[in-house]
Structure 1
Amino acid sequence: MTKANFAATFTTMLLCSVAAMPAHAQTAAADDQTPATAQDPDDDDNVIIVTANRREESMQDVAGVVQALDADQLRQDGISELRQLQVAVPGLSIANQEGNVEIFIRGVGSANNTELGDPGAAPHLNGVYIPRPRGLGLMFYDLERVEVNKGPQGTLYGRNALAGTLNIITAKPRLGEYSGYAQAEVANRGSYGAEGALNIPLGDTMAMRAAGYYINRDFGFRNASTGVEARKLKPAGLEENYAGRLSLLWEPSSRLSLSIVGDYGRETGTGYPGANIFSAVQATGLRPDKLNIKDVVYRGMQGDMENELWGVQGTLAYDFGTFTAELNGSYRSVDFYQANASSEGIAYPGRDLDAVEYDNFSNNFWQSRSQSQVYELRLSANDDQRLRWNAGGFYFKEDQQVGYLALADRGYCCYSGTEFTMPDVDGESYAFFADGTYDVTDRLRVFAGLRYTEEEKSRYGIGGNWALTLGGENFSCCFGTRLGTEGFRPALLDRPNFDVSGINTPQGRAQFLVEGILTPGLRDTLIDQIGAIADGTNPNGTCIDRPDIDNGFVECPTGFNGGFSFVELTIPDQQVGQSAFDFVDWRAGVEFDISPDNMLYAKVSTGHKSGGFNDSFNGSTIPESFRPESLIVYEAGSRNSFDAFGRRHIFNLTGFYYDYTDQVFQDLTCINLDETQTPPVCNGYSLVNRNIGESRIYGAEAELKLRLPAHYSLDLNAAYLDTKITKGVVADARAQDFDAGGESPLTSLVGNRLPLASEMNVSARLSQWFDVGPGRFDWQALLNYRSSYFLTQFNENDIVFLDGTRQTALEAGFPDRQPGFVTLNLGAGYTVGNFRLEAWASNFLDEEVSQKALVGSSLNIRFLNDARTYGLRARVTF
């Protein structure tokens, strides 16, 4: 469908939907003259309050697409953790890569989850921005609702709301009442949990709410190893999490209010690494959906993850009569560490698992700390005025410390690992904004907004390889190094020194490598091999001839005082980066009420995602930073309510067109160009973030909420999305040739679809309740269909190697198309008085779905959804 045809078709549908609504409402109402009773819980089902425009209003009054689910709906839908939210919200994708939550909305987001970049969809807690969404799922309890605002929200929500926002709104204290709830649950795979809250009045004007949460669960990976020790390793995805929240509300008068929320959470378990399917695909020729990706061959180190986070936020508001002033402040701390559950790919048909080298402790280690402050002063006109406006200022500051070590145990060919550790990463941003809606007539409104933002970032640390080249008899090469065996823990942010600018001696380099180890592994050899160099007792180190670290023909030399015949040590380079940028976001639109129940709207809005850094290398021409991404969206829609069957129903329709510029793609770029040769030769490549892409997106979303006779309800949400990259040429990392120094052929992305963007995504929820005996029984089924999507920007295109040979992506081990699938969640409950018993099943059909992929040389790593989960929950309210 061309853009012109799509626009014409959508406009016709839009006008017809509005024109048909009143007539249909009258006809349906005439068919059923029995009104709902005052006690009927269906009465207010469609009155949904949201804060998309930074003020509380009915969802039907919002000129845009926002989906909201309250706490009861989430629980009944079987949505017990953040990633499962995408089952109920078409166009939303949420993945967890090594502890970092990545959110995409309508194909727009960011997979750059290190200190180099920022999220592309902005997460919020009670409307306050969260810069680092690690551990975001720990906030997913005792909720009022969750809102997903689709499309750029740069004017009202600002920082990194390029794709939209996800706002987690917690339950607030209630004045004048003792109340609360307690619940406990058990589920398959040995999972269990508990949750509760207590509301306590503190006089007539103050109340406190205390809430807590605990979960012990398993995401369904299986250990397929046959090695004696490896069989004992716990698979990835085991979690034991707990969290607590204390909220205080003080309202001494109708004009003044103060709200303070403090929370603490801790995640522990075996971590969130993916599964590398590259070897399995190459060996079998099977597509990933024909493999059991959760059957992982674990070896080496036990996966371990610890994440501690806490925060406090406060809101002080005063109503001056014609306007209200609101001051928000927040401080958040995140302290994350993960040693991956290391693996040797997955089990596949024909693989000899007994031939795997299980005594291999190569692994990846992550450490991330963040301390962020967010402040906002907002003035807003009260709703009874013809001009309703918001204006204010925003300030953000974040201090980060990050560490990463990719460790290569048994480094026979000298390489022992890569480390990027930054003890000092600073970000600062401020913005000023104004937004208003003006009633031209009783039925016609116009709105507009403007936001100016300035940002600065800087970082300091180290980045590059660890390498030990240790010579044997007759200067033969080379002894290996054991590194990372049982009990090993890297120093990362606990290093005593990060200044490598003056380290140019073997002793200094040896000292620096030794200082990178916080706790040596039980069978490590690195300190034993180069410790004598570090302390100055032997410049040739100490030769250790062990069967597990020689390559079969290397022997310790004589005549070097027990050391090696030669020693070359490589340490990381200094990393220093700085970037600054400013941008303007704006929106403008019009709303027209055809009737009290039917609204048409059209608007234009923009959003930006912050720019960031690139890794720096001595002598390279890599650009130090990349610019912010930019998005402008044209949107038109209708929001309609109508009466039928004696109840209120909703039908909404929206169409949109995105112009996405300065898009960042990762590109392999030369980092060590030897210009002494003719022609110049590159001796190393690294992934670099570049503003080299442009894309266009158009689509439509429809929402239908029906409350039917016999207490049935049917909710339908559908999203159609057509995405296309219109500019972008990158090096094809799938074909990286290390015999050519790491060079890769260029490939054009033009015409490809954006990753994670399904053309069709539909969710349907059917539910019913009826009285049985002394209580009420209810059930529901939530069905989600998502058509196929690609996991990378390469879209499974053929690979053309440097020598001109061609392979399909499947032949080369890089299929990246996730086939379409259906997810089904089921729930049922029985309520008697204050007691409720629930049964639920999430992913009832047990679909195994890839939600993210990382591809590179010999890597096709998949991050998956949760396996089928079902259980029972008991809940009491008081």
Structure 2
Amino acid sequence: MNTNQFTRAALFVLLSTSAALPGYAQDRPADGAERDKDDIIVTANRREENLQDVSGVVQSLGSEQLRRDGIAELRQLQLAVPGLSIANQEGNVEIFIRGVGSANNTELGDPGAAPHLNGTYIPRPRGLGLMFYDLERVEVNKGPQGTLYGRNALAGTLNIITAKPKLGQFGGYAQAEVSNRSSYAAEGAINVPLGSTAALRASAYYVNRDYGFNNVSTGAPANTLKPAGLEENYAARLSFLWEPSDRLSISIIGDYGKETGTGYPGANIFSAVAATGLRPDKLNLRDVVYRGLQGDMENELWGVQGKIAYDFGTFGAELTGSYRSVDFYQVNASSDGIDFPGRDLSAVQYDNFSGNFWQTKSKSQVYEARIFANEDQPLRWNLGGFYFNEDQAVGYLALADRGYCCYSATEFVMPEVKGESFAFYADGTYDVADRLRLIAGIRYTEEKKSRFGIGGNWALTLGGEDFACCFATRVGTEGFRPALLDRPNFNVSNITTPRGQAQFLIEGIARPGLRDTLIAQIGSIANGTNPNGTCIDRPDIDNGFVNCPAVNPADRNGGFSFANLTIPGQQIGRAKFDFIDWRVGVEFDINDDHMLYAKVSTGHKSGGFNDSFNGSAIPEEFRPEDLLVYEFGSRNAFDLFNRPAVFNLTGFYYDYNNQVFQDLTCINLDTTQSPPVCNGFSLVNRNIGTSRIYGAEAELRFKLPGSFAVDLNAAFLDTRITRGTVADARAQDFGAGGNSPLISLVGNRLPLASKINLSARLSQSFQAGPGRFDWQALLNYRSSYFLSQFNEDDIVFLDGTRQTSLAAGFPDRQQGFSTLNLGMGYTISNFRIEAWASNFLNEEISQKALVGSSLNIRFLNDARSYGLRVRVDF
């Protein structure tokens, strides 16, 4: 198994609430004043509630708070939400909550923390950041939400709630900003009443942004390549609301967005660490040695959501439907790792076009019917049905340009990938007494998945004079584009002849590169004019001692001494699962301002199946992961310094089962030997892990004299893998057919799980002349965390030798760090000017890693950014 195959395999793979609201920083008289809790509305229980009345941990951030915090894009949300981690790998948004999530970004994977838009599930969170404008609020619901939110809400949910049309009001806003690294953005919305019962809201967004990577290549033309992380995105949304009576409400939301730029690939730091012995925090991970093809990304999304709600008096009914389309294409900004002290950049082979191509198309539908009791009843119940259907078509091609001897590419292209799920649920809260309530819910889910396509290697073993091995094949040079989903044929079960294999390889190329040799080398095999192909002896494909065989019309006729071809195999898979989620709990009001609660809840993440090997008709399955959580806490409102304050405390314990880790499976078993011997291995997903997680989250919000406001949030998290022995992919030996030693993960921490996560916001607002001045600072601290399940354990290779993780090039510990966002603004009537800074301390943070044989690929946060913004409300 080669490096690019591992890349494909690797792809499978104390806080409660913080929401300072407008006006919170202002002094208000304690007598007769409403507490801030009355202003914070969340929908954690599928109904609008004051946050302090919800038993659980929900964090809600309004649009104004997000803007003032300097949170301009989705990944930055983790700065204000302790326990939340968000990374972007190859355009796919990965969300982890309290160390639980999913890094399986293939067509067979699912998120472990469920993303939602206006309460509707989004199966493919590519481009989720395009929805991050003209918002009402963002809600992060921590812990499993299997009963009410269901599908893949194992870790919790992230719900982006957009601004809704307002009846009888004409208004809107327009804002523009400029920032460092030549970045700029604009956003606006307009609300138009249509009579007294209807309204229309239109909004739009544009951003041109640079994430701060540097191209340090010295060789032409690589030194002219644009680095990764350049973005030019735009989006628009149209929302319609009609309320012809007090009982009936109809809403429709349509949105469109497009991301363009140089893409989101990471950089491999393996060679830099191995050469210098330095930890990543001692290297500049943003100085990347680019080469080959220019990184390019285009992601087009659009969707429609609709909801009909009717109030029958004692109960209400709601029908929602959504259709969403994703069309993603990326050419990786290929690199030769990063720069490091002592590296001779002039020695880099810049004429190397090895790279990766990604394509994802998704068409999904989500429907839900729900009836529910109205709020003035002792039993507030929900009954509902949920249906989800997704059709995907995906493509992936990893090229090994200049690959001497045999290997040239890995291709996984699936034109038919189907997913379907339906569920039924019941949930309710019952008032046992005036201050005592019981909570209970149950949900049954059934899911099925299937796919058809191809997957495996391109291999061309082309012999020279006297059967010398081997000529290289160049593929992917300037101008190259793969066919991917535009292939004319995906049925390879009957392709067994060299001519058919050659034709199939050529069909995988939509446009050959200017200096590619593949078609010239095997084109004559494909068209039948020469079964030995056409030998080309060119300096860049000659390994130094291979020459073309002498021409012999009766033999090779100018061809190779041998030409052995390998094509991807057939991929067919199908799986079906069903499971039940439930929750039970109790809430007790000590008085109107103090509540105690305790509950037990469950959640699941969808299972799936692995790749097929050697024509296997039934690939290996992995079952859904499941989580059982015990939670208890208190929510408290009181007066501090004669001003309203909030203190919330929550403790929890997780029992995490059927956890999926990557392990080895044999893909080439030689049964002619006794006993049989395996000559080939590959990584697969298996349910071989269990973990336990416990922790506590706390929040304190209060105001001080002088118009100051303070939000303090703390999260403590202890994670431990309690079962799991897997293949150590860091020590995978391709000389031994891809075999790897085993390593026990018992005692290791879950990836991305900091033990301590603190967030503190200090703000002030006061009258200054004709307007109002405000400022705030958002400080976030995260203690160290690991980026993989290996936790920097020593590596014991197949031959028994041992090496530290650092010496082998695989450090995967992100040291603790603090980030600081700053903002200040001045408002006069409907005009506002703001200055802001995100990541003011310019911390370089690894938010995700892919770790495997010769691979330690890092995906980073945004570098320091700062700018000026003006806004007009009308």
TM-score between both structures, scaled by the size of structure 1? 0.95
Tell me if structure 1 keeps the 8 A contact 2:570–2:615: no
Q: Give the 5 Å matches for 1:372-391.
A: 372-391=364-383
84 and 46 in structure 1: CA distance in 2 versus 1, 3 angstrom threshold: farther
Q: Give the 5 Å matches for 1:734-745.
A: 734-745=730-741
Q: Distance in 2 between matches of 1:622 and 1:692?
A: 20
Tell me if structure 2 keeps the 8 A contact 1:620–1:672: no
Q: Give the 5 Å matches for 1:99-138.
A: 99-138=91-130
Code of the residue aligned with 1:790 in structure 2: it is F
Structure-2 residue corresponding to 1:26: none
Code of the residue aligned with 2:370 in structure 1: it is R
36 and 776 in structure 1: CA distance in 2 versus 1, 3 angstrom threshold: farther
Deviation at 1:533, TM superposition (A): 1.1
Deviation at 1:316, TM superposition (A): 0.3
Q: Give the 5 Å matches for 1:5-154.
A: 35=29, 44=36, 47-154=39-146
Structure-1 residue corresponding to 2:291: 299
Tell me if structure 1 keeps the 8 A contact 2:225–2:294: yes
Structure-2 residue corresponding to 1:772: 768
Structure-1 residue corresponding to 2:660: 664
Q: Distance in 2 between matches of 1:33 and 1:165?
A: 34
Structure-2 residue corresponding to 1:676: 672
Code of the residue aligned with 1:354 in structure 2: it is S
1:282 to 2:277 alignment: no
Deviation at 1:685, TM superposition (A): 1.7
Deviation at 1:637, TM superposition (A): 0.2
Q: Distance in 2 between matches of 1:33 and 1:349?
A: 54
Tell me if structure 2 keeps the 8 A contact 1:201–1:207: yes
Structure-2 residue corresponding to 1:789: 785
Tell me if structure 1 keeps the 8 A contact 2:442–2:580: yes
Report the 3-state secondary structure (helix = DSSP H, G, I; strand = E; otherwise coil) of the residue aligned with 1:809: coil
- RMSD across aligned C-alpha pairs, in angstroms? 1.6
Q: Give the 5 Å matches for 1:478-627.
A: 478-558=470-550, 559=552, 560-618=556-614, 623-627=619-623
Code of the residue aligned with 1:757 in structure 2: it is A
Structure-1 residue corresponding to 2:386: 394
Tell me if structure 1 keeps the 8 A contact 2:269–2:858: yes
Structure-2 residue corresponding to 1:4: none
Code of the residue aligned with 1:705 in structure 2: it is R
Deviation at 1:511, TM superposition (A): 0.6
1:465 to 457, 473, 476: 457
Q: Distance in 1 between matches of 2:687 and 2:30?
A: 57
Q: Which moved more, 1:560-569 or 1:765-774?
A: 560-569
343 and 61 in structure 1: CA distance in 2 versus 1, 3 angstrom threshold: same
Code of the residue aligned with 2:206 in structure 1: it is Y
Deviation at 1:869, TM superposition (A): 0.5
Structure-2 residue corresponding to 1:21: none
Q: Which moved more, 1:317-326 or 1:407-416?
A: 407-416
Q: Distance in 2 between matches of 1:857 and 1:644?
A: 56
Q: Distance in 2 between matches of 1:677 and 1:416?
A: 30
1:307-344 deviation line (CA, Å, top 9, x unaligned): 00000000100000000000000000000011100000
Report the 3-state secondary structure (helix = DSSP H, G, I; strand = E; otherwise coil) of the residue aligned with 1:193: strand
Q: Distance in 1 between matches of 2:667 and 2:740?
A: 13
2:163 to 154, 168, 171: 171
1:18-70 deviation line (CA, Å, top 9, x unaligned): xxxxxxxxxxxxxx9981699x9x97476200000000000101100000000
Code of the residue aligned with 2:609 in structure 1: it is F
Structure-2 residue corresponding to 1:25: none
Structure-1 residue corresponding to 2:424: 432
Structure-1 residue corresponding to 2:697: 701
Q: Give the 5 Å matches for 1:119-268.
A: 119-268=111-260
1:629 to 2:625 alignment: yes
Tell me if structure 1 keeps the 8 A contact 2:27–2:706: no
1:345 to 2:337 alignment: yes
Code of the residue aligned with 2:750 in structure 1: it is L
Deviation at 1:705, TM superposition (A): 0.7
Code of the residue aligned with 2:803 in structure 1: it is Q
Q: Give the 5 Å matches for 1:329-340.
A: 329-340=321-332
Code of the residue aligned with 2:29 in structure 1: it is P
Q: Distance in 1 between matches of 2:155 and 2:847?
A: 18
Structure-2 residue corresponding to 1:368: 360
Code of the residue aligned with 1:505 in structure 2: it is T
Report the 3-state secondary structure (helix = DSSP H, G, I; strand = E; otherwise coil) of the residue aligned with 1:793: coil
1:223-281 deviation line (CA, Å, top 9, x unaligned): 01011201100000000000000000000001000010000000000000001000000
Deviation at 1:645, TM superposition (A): 3.7
2:714 to 718, 724, 727: 718
Report the 3-state secondary structure (helix = DSSP H, G, I; strand = E; otherwise coil) of the residue aligned with 2:273: helix
Deviation at 1:605, TM superposition (A): 0.2
Deviation at 1:682, TM superposition (A): 2.1
Q: Distance in 2 between matches of 1:204 and 1:92?
A: 42
Tell me if structure 2 keeps the 8 A contact 1:154–1:606: yes
1:673-711 deviation line (CA, Å, top 9, x unaligned): 112224433222211000000000000000111122211
Deviation at 1:535, TM superposition (A): 1.3
Tell me if structure 2 keeps the 8 A contact 1:620–1:673: no
Report the 3-state secondary structure (helix = DSSP H, G, I; strand = E; otherwise coil) of the residue aligned with 1:686: strand
Q: Distance in 2 between matches of 1:691 and 1:641?
A: 44
Q: Distance in 1 between matches of 2:700 and 2:155?
A: 23
Structure-2 residue corresponding to 1:22: none
Report the 3-state secondary structure (helix = DSSP H, G, I; strand = E; otherwise coil) of the residue aligned with 1:641: strand
1:641 to 2:666 alignment: no
Report the 3-state secondary structure (helix = DSSP H, G, I; strand = E; otherwise coil) of the residue aligned with 1:812: coil
1:102-151 deviation line (CA, Å, top 9, x unaligned): 00000000000111210000000000000000000000000000000000
Q: Which moved more, 1:680-689 or 1:860-869?
A: 680-689
Code of the residue aligned with 1:402 in structure 2: it is V
277 and 869 in structure 1: CA distance in 2 versus 1, 3 angstrom threshold: same
Q: Distance in 2 between matches of 1:756 and 1:679?
A: 42
1:808 to 796, 804, 818: 804
Q: Distance in 1 between matches of 2:642 and 2:367?
A: 47
Report the 3-state secondary structure (helix = DSSP H, G, I; strand = E; otherwise coil) of the residue aligned with 2:93: strand
1:339-386 deviation line (CA, Å, top 9, x unaligned): 100000000000000000000000011101100000000101000000
Structure-1 residue corresponding to 2:5: none
Q: Distance in 2 between matches of 1:586 and 1:749?
A: 30
Structure-1 residue corresponding to 2:22: none
Q: Distance in 2 between matches of 1:421 and 1:374?
A: 25
Deviation at 1:643, TM superposition (A): 2.0
Deviation at 1:218, TM superposition (A): 0.5
Structure 2 residue ranges without an equivalent (≥5): 1-13, 17-25
Tell me if structure 1 keeps the 8 A contact 2:325–2:362: yes
Structure-1 residue corresponding to 2:400: 408
- Aligned residue pair count: 848
Deviation at 1:413, TM superposition (A): 1.5
Q: Distance in 1 between matches of 2:53 and 2:30?
A: 24
Tell me if structure 2 keeps the 8 A contact 1:619–1:672: no
Structure-1 residue corresponding to 2:6: none
Structure 1 residue ranges without an equivalent (≥5): 1-12, 18-31
Q: Distance in 2 between matches of 1:573 and 1:753?
A: 37
Q: Distance in 2 between matches of 1:411 and 1:495?
A: 24
1:327 to 2:337 alignment: no
Structure-2 residue corresponding to 1:418: 410
Structure-2 residue corresponding to 1:8: none
Tell me if structure 1 keeps the 8 A contact 2:548–2:560: yes
Identity of aligned residues (%): 80
Tell me if structure 2 keeps the 8 A contact 1:614–1:622: no
Tell me if structure 1 keeps the 8 A contact 2:38–2:50: no
Structure-2 residue corresponding to 1:733: 729
621 and 655 in structure 1: CA distance in 2 versus 1, 3 angstrom threshold: farther
1:423-474 deviation line (CA, Å, top 9, x unaligned): 0000000000000000011100001000000001000000000001111111
Q: Distance in 2 between matches of 1:621 and 1:740?
A: 26
Code of the residue aligned with 1:654 in structure 2: it is T
Code of the residue aligned with 1:808 in structure 2: it is T
